[in-house]
Amino acid sequence: MKIEIITIGDEILSGDIIDTNKSWLSEQCWKLGFSVSYHTGIRDDEGDIQLALTQAATRSDIILCTGGLGPTADDFTIEIAAKTFGQPRILDESTIQYLEKWYAKRGRVMSENNRKQALVPQGCRVLTNRWGTAPGCQVEFRGKTFFFMPGVPGEMKGIFGESILPFLRTRCEGGLNFASVTLKTFGCPESDLDRKLSDLYEDRLNIQGVRVGFRARMPEVYIKLSAWAETADVAKANVACVRALVESRVGEFVYTDDDRSLAQVLVEAAIQKNKTFAIAESCTGGLIASRITDVPGASQVFLGGVTSYADAVKISILGVDTQTLQQHGAVSEACALEMVRGIYKLTGADFCASITGIAGPSGGSDDKPVGTVFLAYLMNGAESVEKHFFPFRREMFKNIVSSLVLRKFWQACR
Amino acid sequence: MKIEIITIGDEILSGDIIDTNKSWLSEQCWKLGFSVSYHTGIRDDEGDIQLALTQAATRSDIILCTGGLGPTADDFTIEIAAKTFGQPRILDESTIQYLEKWYAKRGRVMSENNRKQALVPQGCRVLTNRWGTAPGCQVEFRGKTFFFMPGVPGEMKGIFGESILPFLRTRCEGGLNFASVTLKTFGCPESDLDRKLSDLYEDRLNIQGVRVGFRARMPEVYIKLSAWAETADVAKANVACVRALVESRVGEFVYTDDDRSLAQVLVEAAIQKNKTFAIAESCTGGLIASRITDVPGASQVFLGGVTSYADAVKISILGVDTQTLQQHGAVSEACALEMVRGIYKLTGADFCASITGIAGPSGGSDDKPVGTVFLAYLMNGAESVEKHFFPFRREMFKNIVSSLVLRKFWQACR
Mean predicted confidence (pLDDT) in A327-331? 96
Of the candidates B105, B165, B170, the residue with the CA atom closest to the CA atom of residue B136 = B165
Question: pLDDT tens, B371-413?
Answer: 999 999 999 999 999 999 999 889 999 999 999 999 999 999 9
- Is the C-alpha dihedral spanning B347, B353, B354, B355 positive or negative? negative
Backbone torsions φ then ψ of B313, nearest 5 degrees: -75, -35
Between helix A46-59 and helix B46-59 the angle, nearest 10°, is 150
The C-alpha R_g of chain A, in whole angstroms, comes to 26
Q: Identify the band that residue A193 occupies on the pLDDT scale cut at 50, 70 and 90.
A: confident
Of the candidates A361, A340, A358, the residue with the CA atom closest to the CA atom of residue A349 = A340
Q: Identify the band that residue A176 occupies on the pLDDT scale cut at 50, 70 and 90.
A: low
pLDDT of residue A206: 60
CA-nearest residue of chain A to B293?
A: A285
pLDDT of residue A360: 86
CA distances from B12 to A22, A25, B17, B22 (A): 9, 11, 6, 11
Global pTM reads 0.79
Question: pLDDT tens, A151-167?
Answer: 999 999 999 999 999 99
Cis omega (within 30 of 0) on the bond before B150?
A: no
pLDDT of residue A103: 87
Q: Does B205 touch chain A (CB under 8 A)?
A: no
- Averaged pLDDT score across all residues of chain A: 91
pLDDT of residue B325: 96
Mean predicted confidence (pLDDT) in B194-211? 76
pLDDT of residue B227: 85
Q: Is the pLDDT of residue A392 over 60?
A: yes
Mean predicted confidence (pLDDT) in A84-95? 94
Q: Is the pLDDT of residue B361 over 70?
A: yes
Chain A positions in Cβ-Cβ contact with residue B222 (cut-off 8 Å): 16
Residue B58's contacts (CB-CB under 8 Å, 6 or more residues apart) are none
User: Strands B3-8 and A382-389: what pairing?
Assistant: unpaired
Mean predicted confidence (pLDDT) in A335-350? 97
Cα separation of A217 and A400, whole Å?
12
Q: Is the pLDDT of residue B213 over 70?
A: yes
User: Is B359 in contact with A213 (Cβ distance < 8 A)?
Assistant: no
Q: Is the pLDDT of residue B89 over 90?
A: yes
Mean predicted confidence (pLDDT) in B156-167? 94
Share of chain B above pLDDT 90, in %: 69
Chain A neighbours among B 151-180 (CB < 8 Å)?
A: none
Ranges of beta strands (E only) in B309-368 are: 351-357
Of the candidates B55, B103, B107, B44, the residue with the CA atom closest to the CA atom of residue B78 = B44
Q: Which helix (H) or strand (E) holds A48?
A: helix A46-59
Nearest-10 Cα torsion for B300, B306, B307, B309: -170
| B135 CA: distance to closest CA in chain A (Å) | 24
pLDDT of residue A214: 80
- Averaged pLDDT score across all residues of chain B: 91
Mean predicted confidence (pLDDT) in A390-402? 92
Question: pLDDT tens, B296-322?
Answer: 999 999 999 999 999 999 999 999 999
Q: Identify the band that residue B157 occupies on the pLDDT scale cut at 50, 70 and 90.
A: very high
What's the CA angle centered on B340, arms B339 and B341, to 5 degrees?
90
What one-character DSSP code corresponds to residue B1?
-
CA distances from B181 to B13, B113, B161, B178 (A): 33, 47, 24, 11
Q: Taking a C-beta distance cutoff of 8 angstroms, is the pair B37, B3 a contact?
A: yes
Mean predicted confidence (pLDDT) in A50-63? 94
* Ranges A61-75, A165-179, B40-54: which has the least confidence: A165-179
Mean predicted confidence (pLDDT) in A264-279? 97
Residue B300's contacts (CB-CB under 8 Å, 6 or more residues apart) are B267, B270, B271
Of the candidates A357, A344, A350, the residue with the CA atom closest to the CA atom of residue A388 = A357
Q: Is the pLDDT of residue A27 over 60?
A: yes
Residue ranges in B251-332 assigned as alpha helix (H): 262-273, 287-293, 311-316, 322-328
User: Is A285 in contact with B306 (Cβ distance < 8 A)?
Assistant: no
- The complex's ipTM works out to 0.78
Q: Identify the band that residue B172 occupies on the pLDDT scale cut at 50, 70 and 90.
A: low
CA-nearest residue of chain A to B34?
A: A14
Q: Identify the band that residue B55 occupies on the pLDDT scale cut at 50, 70 and 90.
A: very high
Chain B positions in Cβ-Cβ contact with residue A130 (cut-off 8 Å): none
Q: Is A183 helix (H, G, I), strand (E, B) or coil?
A: strand
Q: Is the pLDDT of residue A211 over 90?
A: no
Nearest-10 Cα torsion for B306, B311, B317, B320: 110
Cα separation of A153 and A131, whole Å?
10
pLDDT of residue A203: 53
Q: Is the pLDDT of residue B353 over 90?
A: yes
Question: pLDDT tens, A1-23?
Answer: 899 999 999 888 887 778 889 99
pLDDT of residue B34: 83
Cα separation of A339 and A336, whole Å?
5
| B319 CA: distance to closest CA in chain A (Å) | 11
pLDDT of residue B259: 85
User: Is A298 in contact with B306 (Cβ distance < 8 A)?
Assistant: no
User: Is A294 in contact with B394 (Cβ distance < 8 A)?
Assistant: yes
Chain A neighbours among B 69-98 (CB < 8 Å)?
A: 73
User: Strands B136-141 and B211-217: what pairing?
Assistant: unpaired
Question: pLDDT tens, B122-153?
Answer: 999 999 998 888 899 999 999 999 999 999 88
Question: pLDDT tens, B218-264?
Answer: 899 999 898 888 888 998 999 999 999 999 999 999 999 998 999 99
Question: pLDDT tens, A282-304?
Answer: 999 999 999 999 999 999 999 99
pLDDT of residue A205: 52
Q: Identify the band that residue A147 occupies on the pLDDT scale cut at 50, 70 and 90.
A: very high
Q: Identify the band that residue B60 occupies on the pLDDT scale cut at 50, 70 and 90.
A: very high
Q: Does A342 touch chain B (CB under 8 A)?
A: no
Q: Identify the band that residue B202 occupies on the pLDDT scale cut at 50, 70 and 90.
A: low
Residue B124's contacts (CB-CB under 8 Å, 6 or more residues apart) are B87, B137, B138, B139
Q: Which helix (H) or strand (E) holds A384?
A: strand A382-389
pLDDT of residue A289: 97
Mean predicted confidence (pLDDT) in A173-193? 81
Mean predicted confidence (pLDDT) in B265-271? 97
